Amino acid sequence: MIVAIIKTGATLTPVDEFRKATTEAEAVTEFCNENTPPLVEADYLGVNGDSLNLSKNWAWDFSEAAPIFKEVLPDIMEGKYTQSEIDGRAYFKLAKAKYFGLRLQSGELNYNNLSYVYTRLSDVALRLNNGDQGLALHYLLNEFGIVTQTDIDNGYTQDVHDNIILDLTNYLTP
The Cα 78–Cα 111 span in angstroms is 37
Cis peptide leading into residue 37 (ω within 30°): yes
- Give the mean pLDDT of 93-114: 95
Count each helix (H run) and each strand (E run) in the chain, helices first: 8, 6
Q: What is the DSSP string of 74-134?
A: -HHHHHHHHHHHHHHHHHHHHHHIIIIIHHHHHTSS-HHHHHHHHHHTHHHHHHHHTT-HH
What residues pair up with 48 in beta bridges, in sequence order? 3
**Better-predicted residue by pLDDT, 173 or 152:** 152
Nearest Cα residue to 27 out of 14, 11, 39: 39
What pLDDT is attached to residue 11?
83
**Left if phi > 0, otherwise alpha if psi is -120 to 50, otherwise beta: which for 155?**
left
What pLDDT is attached to residue 78?
57
Q: What is the CA radius of gyration of the chain?
A: 26
**Better-predicted residue by pLDDT, 27 or 57:** 27
Residue 154 pLDDT grade (very low, low, confident, very high; cuts 50, 70, 90):
very high
pLDDT digits (tens, 9 = 90+) for 111-153: 999 999 999 999 999 999 888 999 999 999 999 999 999 999 9
DSSP three-state, residue 49: coil
pLDDT digits (tens, 9 = 90+) for 71-88: 886 655 555 567 788 888
Residue 56 pLDDT grade (very low, low, confident, very high; cuts 50, 70, 90):
confident
**Alpha carbon distances (Å) from 107 to 63, 153, 161:** 56, 14, 21
What pLDDT is attached to residue 50?
93
